[in-house]
Amino acid sequence: MPLPSLLAVFAHPDDESLSTGGVLARHAAAGARTAVVTATWAEDTQRAAELADALRILGAGKPRMLGYADARAPQSAPGRVRFCDASLDESVRRLVLHIREFRPDIVLTHDAYGGLTGHPDHVHTHRVTTLAVQAAGLDLLYPEAGTPWQPGSLYLATHPRSAAQALGARLVREGRAMYSVPDEWITVTIDVGPWLEQKLSAVLAHRTEVERGALPGRIAGLTPAARERLLSTEWYIRHGPASGAAVQTVLTS
């Protein structure tokens, strides 16, 4: 039986590696189709080139970029509207096109908080993705975006409260709010230790973020043991009524 295909949808270059790098690497290594859609940054930027390097490491194909501007970095897409300010209908339509083209069994994205940091682009990516997953299967919505396709599951990358309390100080800058979910909300906990080096290499491929001291840079400065504690487990919440049997069978086996 073929493994389910994965389409990950995240806000910025590096989110895919930090949040789901282990699962993407695991599925690709087992022969599953994997791909990533990134909401912000233009294709002709250094961040886009680094994203391409990270996806090669993870086996997730070429970047699929919506090209909106990062809420906090106008240079990310000169002349383009900020993702948070873009037409919701247009953003959903553009993501529906990717879903119908790639035809994933499973879609992965940020949780409703936008992960530990609550970045506005992360939160908006969650909103757009949840709407697009539903819209992609409706034949009367966005007919110009291709043949309808309904993914079997939508999973949200997240952190349980216990892990956030143990690890969060390494992941969120001092003085900033930190968001997590009750432990009992977690649907799937995945040990990605066997793919840790691949995941770490993908994180560090985002060299701009390493050099400016963002999260990939802070991870680069940690000991191997600390990196393992931070990156070797991934947590997901199954969202909505779609069946999660396929993802649970494959990801927890």
pLDDT of amino acid 248: 47
pLDDT of amino acid 168: 75
- Contact between residue 7 and residue 37 where contact means Cβ atoms under 8 Å apart: yes
- Contact between residue 50 and residue 13 where contact means Cβ atoms under 8 Å apart: yes
Would you tell me which CATH number, out of the four given (3.40.50.10140, 3.40.50.12780, 3.40.50.10320, 3.90.230.10), belongs to the domain 6-251?
3.40.50.10320
CA distances from residue 219 to 38, 196, 214, 216, 235 in whole angstroms, order as listed:
22, 13, 9, 5, 19
Backbone angles phi and psi of 142, in degrees to 5: 50, 55
Tens digits of residue pLDDT in 121-154: 999 999 999 999 999 999 999 999 999 999 999 9
Rg (CA), the chain: 17
242 pLDDT above the threshold of 60: no
Where exactly are the structural domains of the chain? 6-251
pLDDT of amino acid 120: 97
H or E element in which residue 109 lies: strand 106-110
What's the CA gap between 215 and 14, in Å, rounded?
A: 9
112 or 242, which is more confident? 112
What's the CA gap between 24 and 251, in Å, rounded?
A: 10
Over range 155-179, report the average pLDDT. Answer: 88
